[in-house]
Amino acid sequence: MTFEDNLSNIVAQLNENYTQSGLFFSRNDLERPNRDVIIKLLSDFKRLMFPGYFGSEHPNQTTAPFFVGSLLTSIHERLQHQIELALTYQAGGRTEGIRARAEEVCTELLAELPRIQKLIMIDVEAAFDGDPAAQSREQIIFSYPGLVAIFSHRISHELYIRGVPYIPRIMSEYVHSRTGIDINSGATIGEFFFIDHGTGVVIGETTEIGDCVKIYQGVTLGALSTRDGQKLAGIKRHPTIKNNVTIYSNVSILGGQTVIGEHSTIGGNAFITESIAPYSRVSVKNPELCVVQPGTAGFE
Amino acid sequence: MTFEDNLSNIVAQLNENYTQSGLFFSRNDLERPNRDVIIKLLSDFKRLMFPGYFGSEHPNQTTAPFFVGSLLTSIHERLQHQIELALTYQAGGRTEGIRARAEEVCTELLAELPRIQKLIMIDVEAAFDGDPAAQSREQIIFSYPGLVAIFSHRISHELYIRGVPYIPRIMSEYVHSRTGIDINSGATIGEFFFIDHGTGVVIGETTEIGDCVKIYQGVTLGALSTRDGQKLAGIKRHPTIKNNVTIYSNVSILGGQTVIGEHSTIGGNAFITESIAPYSRVSVKNPELCVVQPGTAGFE
Amino acid sequence: MTFEDNLSNIVAQLNENYTQSGLFFSRNDLERPNRDVIIKLLSDFKRLMFPGYFGSEHPNQTTAPFFVGSLLTSIHERLQHQIELALTYQAGGRTEGIRARAEEVCTELLAELPRIQKLIMIDVEAAFDGDPAAQSREQIIFSYPGLVAIFSHRISHELYIRGVPYIPRIMSEYVHSRTGIDINSGATIGEFFFIDHGTGVVIGETTEIGDCVKIYQGVTLGALSTRDGQKLAGIKRHPTIKNNVTIYSNVSILGGQTVIGEHSTIGGNAFITESIAPYSRVSVKNPELCVVQPGTAGFE
Amino acid sequence: MTFEDNLSNIVAQLNENYTQSGLFFSRNDLERPNRDVIIKLLSDFKRLMFPGYFGSEHPNQTTAPFFVGSLLTSIHERLQHQIELALTYQAGGRTEGIRARAEEVCTELLAELPRIQKLIMIDVEAAFDGDPAAQSREQIIFSYPGLVAIFSHRISHELYIRGVPYIPRIMSEYVHSRTGIDINSGATIGEFFFIDHGTGVVIGETTEIGDCVKIYQGVTLGALSTRDGQKLAGIKRHPTIKNNVTIYSNVSILGGQTVIGEHSTIGGNAFITESIAPYSRVSVKNPELCVVQPGTAGFE
Amino acid sequence: MTFEDNLSNIVAQLNENYTQSGLFFSRNDLERPNRDVIIKLLSDFKRLMFPGYFGSEHPNQTTAPFFVGSLLTSIHERLQHQIELALTYQAGGRTEGIRARAEEVCTELLAELPRIQKLIMIDVEAAFDGDPAAQSREQIIFSYPGLVAIFSHRISHELYIRGVPYIPRIMSEYVHSRTGIDINSGATIGEFFFIDHGTGVVIGETTEIGDCVKIYQGVTLGALSTRDGQKLAGIKRHPTIKNNVTIYSNVSILGGQTVIGEHSTIGGNAFITESIAPYSRVSVKNPELCVVQPGTAGFE
Amino acid sequence: MTFEDNLSNIVAQLNENYTQSGLFFSRNDLERPNRDVIIKLLSDFKRLMFPGYFGSEHPNQTTAPFFVGSLLTSIHERLQHQIELALTYQAGGRTEGIRARAEEVCTELLAELPRIQKLIMIDVEAAFDGDPAAQSREQIIFSYPGLVAIFSHRISHELYIRGVPYIPRIMSEYVHSRTGIDINSGATIGEFFFIDHGTGVVIGETTEIGDCVKIYQGVTLGALSTRDGQKLAGIKRHPTIKNNVTIYSNVSILGGQTVIGEHSTIGGNAFITESIAPYSRVSVKNPELCVVQPGTAGFE
């Protein structure tokens, strides 16, 4: 049987699949939030935070206010529209009160921008302080994935705490895709935060992180696994990291009751499901070592 | 010496390199499979599986059959052409029987799509069940990298098992690049599969995974390292994971004889090269812990 | 208060932030190195190294010299301009001697290309030798992220050792973003090098790697963490890996005095901060294991 | 005075201009019809009329219905939205009854498509019959600007007669820009119509053209000029061309009472403001001619 | 002989052509003005003149100043750079005084914008007054090619009169390409000017046009032809059109001494090389007319 | 009836239209020549003819050969493919001898390029000599539509005389669309040719033009109109223009037997269907003139 002989048959079967699932036809007349627009918004927030570094503009003392006002206006219009789409889609098409709520959320978020920018400039300092390979602060702004991740988080977190659906996750997964750093928008993160390298970092929804924390690639601040997970939605299930903690690469710290005390250092590759006292130094046991004959290296 | 003085010299040397390697001129008159076209095909398969979520179309009961039939026809034409290119290139330009084989493979794959879609909808359920942070199934479809990876794998696996070269790997490496999840197209994966977060996950070519398995970021289901590796091509060298197993972050499980028994849970950061009995709970030893004086945290 | 009522206020606050930081207005009249141009240069180097694999060109014995000469000329022009921008920006706008230095660096780098290409062809062999799943050398060139990373590193390292700022890091972070492999351009890497899968690999600035080394995903060759890190800039703080070493997934090896002796194999998930003798085989301790009752799997 | 010194001043003056005109701020919160979307719609109508000639699709007997149904659905959605925007903008933001009217117009227009397509296929015959240089009907479809113009007119006229504002003009001016042929969407045009070459052709809003008419480049079917022209809006002020008329290049025929009788031929460059009887042959007087001495050609 | 056998030969011949002409290698190290940037500048001037009509922005009373200031700053930066390139290229690479002159010209032009905008708004009125088919002023702004042409001319003329090379012509030819209206940037044009339809209109460099002039498609205001034309550069060789003149389609008016007196009307298709008194009405002679037998229409 | 109720009905009717015409399904499995590729080829020929003017390359004495050889190779590959598609499509899918013929045509055309370039450089001189407004030869290369048209014609004519279908017309109509100049690829045109302004120029398939001819906008060198035109295919039906002729704007010269003798000048707006002796000066009769009362201008 050729493809064309089978075409009507495949069409019918796929259509049957669509019909049987509640995920397709029920709200398909509603416009969904647009991933491309949301990613462009993140990029425009970056131009606002770091004028001159990413766009083609070069604002100075005289021209910066025009640049800022114009970009803010444009961000406001697009962001409010996406928030409205997200809220309407979540509400199954009900529109009552939704435009007003979108306007309110968007206005609040933009009013927070000066404060957020200050936080991010402090994060730049944390990176410069924490990485001897950083040749300058400019290099950090240009290139560091850890800065991309915390910058985006500080924006998307503002949407998360105001109950906007879909958009914070689209933002965080975009950054996850580009940097390998997966920070759930719900996480609470203090000042002077630095993620070095960052690939494989996971920071869960109910994580709390204090000031002056530094974490490395592959660190998981996660939950204990569960089946039937929706029962746990909203419950604190990720750890708390106090001020001045350093966590080395590939460490996993799990559980909502797990607290890493201040000024502690967690050595690489540890798997931690219980709390650690302040001023602790944790390290995995030394590995076993044997000298082998030349030609027999490996685990075969 | 300026660049221009040296230009002919560099040209001659690079040309010499090309000539001495068998990788350039021998088949350079053959058209290679096109990465951009293959990535676009993956994206169109996604529109077919999740109509209304990614493209601009909003099919409903009446219009869906037209949408599906039109997109399927377009996918068929492009996919068959790419398969033909891949087979011809592999055959060093020999064309006998290749168009017929490409048509056959493509027709078979498209006939499997309704079944594959059902599998993927079950994977959506697995993600919703497994992640308390998932606010809705729609959010999973929009954003979850684990879903991107299993969706793509279920397509590329169909090409792999029919012996199509290059294309499955181009698909899996594209997804690897976007999600950090590297599933070799040869791996066999059961129903209700969920990868949470996913960065750093590696699932090797001869891995077998049962139903209801859940794995986390940084998990390797790999082979023991080898030199002169081509001797092992085709031999089972990656583990077998039975039904209802959970594997925490950064676990490495290696070797073709290694079997993780059903209903087992593997705690984070374990390194496993031997089989684990069913209903086991495995965890790495507790790390060493010492309290340090303020100001001396770290490993210096 | 509406957004528009607050607009002037937000503008003023952001402008105040810009003014107070030294990162914005002081050099904003200088053109910065352009990330898009630099990424395109990497892509053109790839076309030069692997003619016929990525662009639309199909050079043969007769036409290859024209292709090579033309592409080299174009790369030279753009690369020299970016180097000049980077040096000028770093110098705060001072231009004396900078064009000549840019010309010198660019000329030297391009003269090295034939040698670099030979190295990369040897890296292709290392991948083919090291991975039984590799069906052909062509597949490695098309798709392997480890090859992307070492290819880019061998280019950007030439810029690094000649003191070009910003550009090497933009290159390495671009590759980091696409592959999850983060090799600092300062690292020294020998022949026949293979990174398998690669997500989460970190290789620090002062790392030294010998010949015939193979590393897996999640491996960190890093520094011990530090606060006030700029004091350590330029000091060797990352490990030395001797010839013929294999390092399994998720291993962290830290510290400038740490040496892994030749022909050693480091088992997965080890955390190593001290030197390992040649011909060693290192493995983490076996994990704890207990059989649990059905229904109680997990760490809850 | 530098630009920056003057910037606030220019801003203030331009803002003053905006404020004083009624064209800017009064309806600036309404979304305007989108020119790019409308041009894309024209292009999609062309794919529908000439399947296989312009897009990448190659529908056959089996697959054509899917292609057609899918494209129609997509056109319907976008066109209806643009009509709604145009009507709403015209109505100053009033929305009552507008969505229903947009749906009605769009449904009617799409129901006319099979009839319109037949007309256009007859126009292809007219071009093939009328131009000895046409090597095939396919060439006409690929390339003839006269066909582009009549194709677009037969679509936009359907919008015009249903009172849709803005969109018909955007369509006709787009075609005008690409072909130099300016047909007002209000014009009535019969079957078997052919415009050869076409640059400079103008066909006014109240023109009536019969069947089997052929016109050449530079032909104007226009109105007598007027000041205070809005008084004449809606009045017939362009000529009537009866069946089987041929009009040569650069002829101008003006006036609402001017009728060119059937089977007449109008020689090139004539300027006509009065009616012409059927079966007439009109030609401008012979030009004056004098032989000049070598070296003195020209009008100097 | 195959293409490849002949390749070196063709290369040598083309290179010989380049070498023998002064147009290629002599200034090929200088950056030329960039056509794409200049066209984008025209488009941005249009957004400035008609805010809300072409871009995605919707400025209102509050936000317009930010939009204007930001766009002006961006235009200033790019335009000044292009002027500098054009002047430097013309000067054969000499740079002395050129940046200052570019800054001066650019500053002057931008200071004229409020005045120019007022002129263009009057041109909109002229179009609305002159065309009964215009349904609204908005439609004119959206779609009328005559408005595009006069808008662009009023900008490029400011560059022309300040001696900027290349850029005015690139602007006018871009508009010529899109509208078929070719206004040399040197022409002087008064207020309330309207070109209807416009295809084929040519207005020469030394043309002078008064206020309230209306011209139709195909009108040439040109020079008498000449060989060895460079001798006439700078001399007035195009006509003068006084106030309140109307010129119908396809009229050619040639010569620097030719003056069309005020309040005159020139009927279509006239060829005029001598002055016309004020308050004249000019029309070509009636064409010859004969009635032909059915079946013999045409000039054969 | 809604759109959706009617959808199947419209689909059926359009499908019926497709089926009844021979233009759609019969050869729809053949790939058609690709308009975008052909336009890009024209653009690349322009880069070859005027290196440094349009692309981003800046070849000099040393680098030009590489640039030329590389671009020629790329043009060759794409052009040969398009010729093969065009010939195959015309042959209804028959492929015998077609690849060889495509190779032959392409090789011949590229061998002619050095000669063609010399012709075009002479055309640049003709423009500089003929237009006092031309500030430099560079400006002509950057901007003059007449040069675009003759450049493209000199290329497409080489394809036409070798019997390549579709492609010459796609080239000439593309240029027609951009410049308003419609030169049929069959026309024979001598050296030192200049079209000034050019909008509305039509030069028919069997036109012959000598050396040193200059024509203005709106000039038609056409055929007498005919019905049942295919009978005249291949017969000379357009005029012959001898050396050193000047033709002013909006002149129409028609007929295959019409010869304009050398050194003649044809005044604007003439309509000519008979031959003109050498050294003639032709002008239309003076228009009628009357002085009207103020307030009564116009033809109303």
C-alpha pair distances (Å), A247 with each of A175, A216, B294, C97, C248: 21, 6, 16, 44, 21
D28 chain-E contacts, CB cut-off 8 A: 51-52, 58-60
pLDDT the model gives residue D300: 41
For E2, the closest of F107, F114, F293 (CB atoms) is F107
Q: How far apart are CA F214 and CA F192, in angstroms?
A: 9
pLDDT digits (tens, 9 = 90+) for B223-262: 987 777 788 888 999 999 999 999 999 999 999 999 999 9
pLDDT band at D294 (very low <50, low <70, confident <90, very high): low
Q: What is the DSSP letter of E286?
A: P
Which one of A287-291, C91-95, E79-83, F281-285 scores highest in mean pLDDT?
E79-83
* Cβ-Cβ contacts under 8 Å, F68 against chain C: 66
pLDDT, tens digit (0-9, with 9 covering 90-100), for E129-154:
999 999 999 999 999 999 999 999 99
Q: pLDDT tens-digit profile of C262-278?
A: 999 999 999 999 999 99
pLDDT > 90: percent of chain D:
81
**C and D make contact (3+ CB pairs below 8 Å):** no
The span from the CA of A227 to the CA of B194, in Å, is 11
B65 interface with D at CB cutoff 8 Å: yes
**Is B28:C86 a contact under the CB 8 Å cutoff?**
no
Residue D237 has pLDDT above 50, yes or no: yes
Q: In this structure, are residues A299 and B224 in contact, taking their beta carbons and an 8 Å threshold?
A: yes
Partners of F290 in the β-ladder: E281
Point out the residue among A59, A70, A77 whose CB comes nearest to the CB of E66. A70
F63 interfaces chain C, CB cutoff of 8 Å: yes
Using an 8 Å Cβ cutoff, are D20 and E61 in contact?
no
Separation of alpha carbons E220 and F42, rounded Å: 30
The band of E297, judged by pLDDT with boundaries at 50, 70 and 90, is: very low
* Chains in contact with B, counting 3 or more C-beta pairs less than 8 Å apart as contact: A, C, D, F
- Tens of pLDDT, residues C237-246: 999 999 999 9
Contacts of B4 in chain F (CB under 8 A): 60, 62-63
Q: Which residues of E touch A59 (CB under 8 A)?
A: 73
Q: Which long-range contacts (CB under 8 A, 24 or more apart) does B102-107 make?
A: B103/A2, B103/A3, B105/B159, B105/B162, B105/B164, B106/A3, B106/B76, B106/B79, B106/B80, B107/A1, B107/A2, B107/A3, B107/A6, B107/B76
Q: What is the pLDDT of residues F198-215, one digit of tens each?
A: 999 999 999 999 999 999
Q: Residue F284 and residue D288: Cβ atoms within 8 Å?
A: yes
A229: left (phi over 0), alpha (psi -120 to 50) or beta: alpha
Burial class (CB within 10 angstroms; exposed 0-12, middle 13-18, buried 19+) of F146: buried
Q: Residues of chain B with pLDDT > 90: what percent? A: 82
Interface contact B70-D71, CB threshold 8 A: yes
Helix (H) or strand (E) run with residue A281 in it: strand A280-283
Query: What number of other Cβ atoms are within 10 A of residue F121's Cβ?
Result: 17
pLDDT of residue A293: 59
Write out pLDDT tens, residues C30-73: 889 999 999 999 999 999 999 989 888 889 989 999 999 999 99
The reply to whether residue F280 touches residue D290, judged by beta carbons under 8 angstroms, is: yes
SS3 category, C195? strand
Beta bridge partners of B280: C291
3-state SS, residue F244: coil
Q: Which of F4, F60, F63 is closest, CB to CB, to B63?
A: F4
pLDDT for the residue C294? 56
Question: Cα C99 to chain center, whole Å?
Answer: 26
Q: Between the ranges A283-287, D274-278, F291-295, where is the mean pLDDT highest?
A: D274-278
- CA distances to C87, E17, E99, E109, E256 from E161, in Å: 39, 36, 18, 10, 19
Neighbours of chain F (3+ CB pairs under 8 A): B, C, D, E
- Closest CA–CA distance from residue C93 to any residue of chain A (Å): 15
Would you say the pTM of this structure is higher than 0.90? yes
Position B20 scores a pLDDT of 93
| CA distances in angstroms from E228 to A196, A199, B235, F133, F266, listed in the order given | 71, 70, 83, 12, 19
Which residue, B49, B232, B93, B78, is CA-closest to B167? B78
Ramachandran area for residue C28 (φ above 0: left; ψ -120 to 50: alpha; else beta):
alpha
The structure tokens listed for D244 are: 């089987």
Listed in sequence order, the residues at least 6 apart from B121 whose beta carbon sits closer than 8 Å to its beta carbon are A17, A21, A23
pLDDT score, position D170: 96
- Average pLDDT of chain C is 92
Q: Answer whether D230 sits within 8 Å of E132, measured CB to CB.
A: yes
| Residue of D4, D60, D63 with shortest CB distance to A63 | D4
pLDDT at D261 over 60: yes
Q: Has residue E43 got a pLDDT over 90?
A: yes
CA distance C117 to C45: 10
Q: Which chain F residues have a beta carbon less than 8 Å from that of D136?
A: 90, 165
3-state SS class at B241: strand
Residue ranges in chain F assigned as alpha helix (H) = 3-20, 35-49, 64-90, 98-111, 113-130, 137-143, 145-160, 167-179
Helix-, strand-, coil-residue percentages of chain F, each rounded to 5: 45, 15, 45
Q: Is residue D164 predicted with pLDDT exceeding 80? A: yes
C289: helix, strand or coil: strand
Tell me if D250 sits within 8 A of E250, measured CB to CB.
yes
> Residue D139 is inside which H or E element, if any?
helix D137-143
Return contacts of F252-261, CB within 8 angstroms, 24+ apart: F252/D248, F252/D249, F252/D250, F252/D268, F252/D269, F252/F219, F252/F220, F252/F222, F253/F219, F253/F220, F253/F221, F253/F222, F254/D248, F254/D268, F254/E299, F254/F220, F254/F222, F254/F223, F254/F224, F255/E299, F255/F223, F255/F224, F256/F206, F256/F223
Asked if the Cβ–Cβ distance from D70 to B66 is below 8 Å, we say yes
Tokens of A81: 């529209």
Residue C299 has pLDDT above 70, yes or no: no
**Given a cut of 70, is residue E293 above it in pLDDT?**
no
What is the distance between the alpha carbons of residues E197 and E180, in angstroms, rounded to a whole number?
9
Nearest to A168 by CA among A74, A71, A47, A86: A86
Structure ipTM: 0.93
